[in-house]
Structure 1
């Protein structure tokens, strides 16, 4: 099937869904982006499959710690974005803003032990992390697209040369 992405850009997709009319695929195609970005966050941002342990129990603990950090980060991002939206409604900006998820994850990972050990009140630490996250916002620029820079693939890596 043929999907028009932007003026002059066409993408061809394969599907086994024969009952759905072709006109319904373009909106569905654009809705998949959030799902793909979520999977990208777990795989690359969180590095969910990068374990520091070698035992079964250690890998399970690593996995659960990653998911706990991701869930806390998502909660903080949602709260911070909601507060940013309220602040933006009062002011007139050129762009809308959202918080940086990678920064949020890093701050949660840095403060996870403090949150779990309870040396400080959880609400106070939560609010402090949220304020740090809100300061690291980024502009939302719709329909932004840049051409990819192609990297050359060499047959042999430059650092792996024979001694002679």
Structure 2
């Protein structure tokens, strides 16, 4: 993300480089003849993930069309439902809350299972990634030492 957001590098180039670093850029034929439209929401992290998926699928022979920066869930969920977009990177918890405001699952597997039930019948969730998206606060080592910060909770301490 740093390369895309901070260094303003092209998401497609970053995606290709990442796939090459992971050994996932080898051309194959497992997706030969498959035509897919890969979409993204309108924020850099999602665009980069969409580019990674698109490049990986291209490397396997798929014919990929991109629809990047579609917008919020209110815009791209209908596109998924009507088939004008075939694949979108998404956060399990966020899309579950969008589809089922009463959902209470919080553990990754429970969220994944609840999402399977909440999706419209014409959509599926692919296997979930092992990574998690979590909020964080980042400070320099100097600032952490100056204020004795080791966790977010330390920010609440009165000095």
Could you say whether these structures have the same fold, taking a TM-score greater than 0.5 normalized by the shorter chain as the test? no
TM range (shorter): under 0.3
Select the structure that is richer in helix: 1
TM-score (norm 2): 0.25
**Greater radius of gyration (CA):** 1
TM, length-normalised to structure 1: 0.25
